[in-house]
A and B are shown apart, each in its own frame.
Chain A
């Protein structure tokens, strides 16, 4: 089969798709409106987390300055039983940035290519163009890099980094060309009750070239019977039991 036959076969098969929906522009408008609504909801959730994270240490430090919680009744210490003053409970320092990881994938060059001339001015790079972070490994990785666990979690009551890592590695599908690992760059856990959302890294190795494509992935975790498991987001993100902040972290991401 020569190149011409191949081109003809591709052209014929491409035609099998038919024409775009006649109301394509209307569909685009609807999707754009939906995205705006989701973005506003996400910003509201982030703002709420920030307010909470900022409010807790302020309240605790105020309580510590006044010698204890305001509502705590003052007790009279009997001289017969002298005790040393109660040491103030150490106040945990919350992390400054709550829960929003910043993937470090660099954008691909924005210059469009094609049979026509390149544009005179180029818009910002396409939002999802993570291809330029490819690296050429000397050996095929067996495990993705696992940086040290962040000292603090994005919200309170989060399971430890190691716990989520164990859950993620047990739940992620085994594949020869893909490795998974918790990664501080994408971690940013958000937790509530028995639910947690956190990021981890996935490194895909192109079997043909050996190129490695690292990427950030959001994971949804659930604790059942005291054990944390990684859930399939496609099947589980519709569960209304997922707390909103966790849903925003694990499900409402691109």
Chain B
């Protein structure tokens, strides 16, 4: 069934999908949603694959599709979201220390979608401000603002004691 895609695209998927899945996971905090997001981005890319002459640029291209698709989903799904007083429990946090596994992910969840995307692209993917602005389709000034506020908030959240620590 996978023969529906040409060898080049299949090879790209095999090589880069782990890295793209990690970016998707940092954006969504949910394995299922991250896989859905990755598949959607790859499908969108596959439609234009023949026109993507520079294969070296494919990864940034798919990452950009991934981020814009996620932003679009977030806006669309806001209609159906309900605000709650407390965050639901997540399986990945261990609350064992100030930087326990999953703490950064939990902190990321507290950021607005675009700010979160900026932090992920800047800190995890290592993009410059200009590259991040291009990937998100916004101005460099907006990236600077999101980056500065996002990182400050993230540090604050990560340095705060976990609920488990607070009750000790």
Q: Which residues of A line the B interface, CB within 8 A?
A: 1, 3, 5-7, 9-21, 24-33, 35, 108-109, 111-124, 126-132, 134, 172-173, 175, 178, 180, 202, 204, 206-209, 211, 213, 215, 217, 232-234
List the A side residues contacting B46 at CB < 8 Å. 28, 32
List the A side residues contacting B123 at CB < 8 Å. 3, 6-7, 10
List the A side residues contacting B35 at CB < 8 Å. 20-21
* Residue among A3, A5, A131 with the highest chain B CB neighbour number at 10 A: A131
User: How far apart sit A232 and B24, CA to CA, in the bound complex (Å)?
Assistant: 26
Distance (whole angstroms) from the CB of A182 to the closest CB of chain B: 14
Contact B38 A175 (CB under 8 A): no
One of B69, B83, B120, B126 near A126 (C-beta < 8 A): B69
Distance (whole angstroms) from the CB of A181 to the closest CB of chain B: 13
List the A side residues contacting B23 at CB < 8 Å. 14
List the B side residues contacting A112 at CB < 8 Å. 57, 60-61, 63-64, 134-135
A21-B35, A175-B78 given; A13·B105 CB < 8 A: yes
One of B54, B60, B75, B92 near A120 (C-beta < 8 A): B54
User: How far apart sit A187 and B53, CA to CA, in the bound complex (Å)?
Assistant: 39
User: How far apart sit A130 and B114, CA to CA, in the bound complex (Å)?
Assistant: 13
Distance (whole angstroms) from the CB of B84 to the closest CB of chain A: 13
Contact B54 A117 (CB under 8 A): yes
Closest A-B pairs by Cβ, 6 of them: A114-B60, A108-B137, A123-B48, A119-B57, A113-B134, A112-B61
Contact A173 B82 (CB under 8 A): yes
Contact A16 B105 (CB under 8 A): yes
One of B31, B52, B56 near A121 (C-beta < 8 A): B52
A120-B54, A121-B52, A209-B145 given; A10·B120 CB < 8 A: yes
Task: Enumerate 10 A-B pairs (CB-CB under 8 Å) in ascending A order.
Answer: A6-B154, A7-B123, A9-B103, A14-B23, A17-B34, A114-B125, A128-B69, A180-B79, A202-B79, A217-B76
Which residues between 60 and 105 of chain B lie within 8 Å of chain A, taking CB atoms? 60-61, 63-65, 68-69, 71-72, 75-76, 78-83, 92, 99, 101-105
A109-B134, A111-B134 given; A20·B17 CB < 8 A: yes
Distance (whole angstroms) from the CB of A135 to the closest CB of chain B: 12
Known: A31-B43, A114-B127, A129-B72. 11 other contacts (CB 8 A): A1-B159, A12-B101, A13-B104, A16-B25, A17-B25, A29-B2, A113-B132, A114-B60, A115-B125, A116-B59, A206-B112
User: How far apart sit A148 and B101, CA to CA, in the bound complex (Å)?
Assistant: 53
Distance (whole angstroms) from the CB of A227 to the closest CB of chain B: 20
Is B161 among interface residues, defined by CB-CB distance under 8 A?
A: no
Chain B interface helix/strand/loop/mixed: helix
Give B135's nearest chain A residue, CB to CB.
A113
A25-B2, A111-B134, A132-B137 given; A18·B39 CB < 8 A: no
Contact B72 A121 (CB under 8 A): no
Contact A16 B127 (CB under 8 A): no
List the B side residues contacting A232 at CB < 8 Å. 80
List the B side residues contacting A129 at CB < 8 Å. 65, 68, 72, 137
Contact B4 A32 (CB under 8 A): yes
List the A side residues contacting B14 at CB < 8 Å. 25
A3-B123, A9-B103, A119-B54 given; A29·B71 CB < 8 A: no
Distance (whole angstroms) from the CB of A217 to the closest CB of chain B: 6
User: How far apart sit A114 and B128, CA to CA, in the bound complex (Å)?
Assistant: 8
Contact B60 A113 (CB under 8 A): yes
Distance (whole angstroms) from the CB of A108 to the closest CB of chain B: 3
Give B80's nearest chain A residue, CB to CB.
A234
